[in-house]
Amino acid sequence: MPVFTLNVNVSLSAEKKTELLKELSTVIGKLLGKPEMYMCIHVNADQAISFAGTTEPAGFAVLKSIGGVGSSAQNNKISAAVFPIIEKHLGIPGNRLYIEFFNLGAADIAFNGQTFA
């Protein structure tokens, strides 16, 4: 059930967006130890975002998961894998991107008509 939402102020072609979605889904799923069938990746391109007072390429992301996030070691491991993917596909350097991590309880998210609890 991991959900990764990425908001960026750059444009993406449909082809580039598909490539980015697939790579993020595969990499984050493996890092979290979650089946890809539960992965949800959401990319919002062309957003109005200012970072450090400029509108140069930038973004922010949120990763929510039942487990797999929350510890400094795990969040750093995910960051080390995800930041280069975003820079490769979008040209956004690591010093212009934030990722927030949220560890959800199984009762806090539903799928197919019921929570994971």
Question: Which residues participate in catalysis according to the annotation?
Answer: 2
- Angstrom CA distances, 57 to 11, 50, 54, stand at 10, 9, 9
**DSSP label at 92?**
-
Is residue 45 within 8 A of residue 11, CB to CB? The reply is yes
Amino acid found at 18: T
